[in-house]
Amino acid sequence: MAVLRDGERLVEEWLMQAHGTRYELSHEPFVVFDLMVGDKRMTYDEFAERIAVGEFVTPTLLHRGGPLSLDETLKRLGERGFHGSLDLVEGAVWRVERDKPTGKKGERRHIVDCLVKYVRPGKLDGMYLPELSGQESVWNWRP
């Protein structure tokens, strides 16, 4: 709660139960990737500064700056990523930020423009969920 202010929320992914990727986690299954107020995302710098007070697991930052090709991104990510994936990595997310004019002469504000996700061909969503697989639940982590 030290991270959040009124009206804010952390955006995360629970890796506890396998959906489409199995993991051998070396950390807790709560992975935080964003901080939002309503439908507005905080910039990466704001997010990083704010979550630094907690002990949160976050996705690995592969690049910062100008464009990065899909080929180079996948090369940096590797086949299994950084969270102990037992299956091929799902893909990657690009966070696009820019300076937006405020309407006042020469004034600009840094914003998150959009997030883009690449999902590798052949990845099957939910393939480990019992309701789709007909098998028992697959757990990546149990307390």
Q: Is 139 a member of any domain?
A: no
- The string of pLDDT tens digits covering residues 48-83 is 999 988 889 999 999 999 899 999 999 999 999 999
pLDDT of 86 over the 90 cut: yes
Q: Is 141 a member of any domain?
A: no
Which structural domain range is residue 27 located in?
Answer: 8-133
pLDDT at 55: 84
pLDDT of 142 over the 80 cut: no
pLDDT at 57: 93
pLDDT at 54: 82
Average pLDDT of the residues of the chain? 93
Measured distance CA(122)–CA(137) in Å, rounded: 21
Q: Is 50 a member of any domain?
A: yes
pLDDT of 26 over the 80 cut: yes
Q: Is 106 a member of any domain?
A: yes
Segment 97-121 mean pLDDT: 93
Q: How many domains does the chain have?
A: 1
Q: Is 1 a member of any domain?
A: no
Q: Is 3 a member of any domain?
A: no
Q: Is 77 a member of any domain?
A: yes
Q: Is 16 a member of any domain?
A: yes
pLDDT of 143 over the 80 cut: no
pLDDT at 1: 73
Q: Are 58 and 31 a contacting pair, CB within 8 Å?
A: yes
pTM above 0.75, yes or no: yes
Q: Are 11 and 65 a contacting pair, CB within 8 Å?
A: no
Among residues 120, 50, 52, the alpha carbon closest in space to that of 85 is found at 120
Long-range contacts of 14-18 (CB under 8 A, 24+ apart): 15/83, 15/140, 15/141, 16/139, 16/140, 16/141, 16/142, 17/128, 17/129, 17/137, 17/138, 17/139, 17/140, 18/128, 18/137, 18/138, 18/139, 18/140
